[in-house]
Amino acid sequence: MKKNIITLAIIAIFVTTAFSAQVDKIERNRISSEEMASNLIQEFDTDNSTALNQLELSGAITYLRYTRPIVNRRQGSNAVSLDLPNPPKIAVGLVDAFDVDSDVQLTEEELSEAIAYFRELMRNNRDAVVVAN
C-alpha cells in the first residue's frame, strides 16, 4: 500500500508539471482522453500490440518531456521546473497503477483512464492554485 501511494505521488508530481502544457492544449482543442490514448498508441506502439508496454510508454514520456516546455507556473514561463523522476520509473508507476488486466502494458482503454485521471488531478490542482493566490 505504501509503495502504491509513493508511486502515485511520483506520478502526480511528474504529470502536474510535465504535462500541464499538453493538457491545456488538449482542453482547448477538446481532444478526448480516448483520442489522446489512441494517438499515443499509434505513435509509440513499436511492437504492434495495440498497447504500450513499459519501454514504449517510457519513450512516449521522454518524447513529451523533451518536446514540451516544463514550466513552474507559479514562477513564470522562464522558470526551471523541479527535478522529475526518470521516464522509466514513471512508466513502471503508470503500468502498476492503471494496468487492470495485469499484462504489464497499457491498452487504449487503460491509457485513456490514466489520462482522464491525471486531467482531473491537474484541473483540481489548477483550481487549488487559483484559490490559494
pLDDT tens over the chain, length 133 residues? 666 666 666 666 665 555 555 555 545 556 899 998 999 999 999 999 999 999 999 998 888 777 765 444 555 544 444 456 788 998 999 999 999 999 999 999 999 999 899 888 877 775 544 343 3
- pLDDT for 106 equals 96
Q: DSSP state, 83?
A: P
113: which 3 cell numbers?
Answer: 483512464
Rg (alpha carbons) of the chain, rounded to whole number = 15
* Boundaries of domain holding 108: 2-132
- Looking up residue 13, the CATH number of its domain turns out to be 1.10.238.10
Paired strand residues for 51 = 107
Alpha carbons 132 and 25: distance in angstroms, whole number: 24
Torsion, Cα 126 91 95 60, to 10 degrees, reads 80
- Going through the chain in order, the beta strands assigned E by DSSP cover 51-53, 105-107
Number of domains in the chain: 1
Instruction: Say what the pLDDT of residue 79 is.
Output: 44
Contact assessment for residue 20 and residue 122, using Cβ atoms and an 8 Å cutoff: yes
The CA distance from 100 to 91, in Å, is 15
Task: Give me the pLDDT at residue 81, please.
Answer: 46
Set of cell numbers at residue 58: 517510457
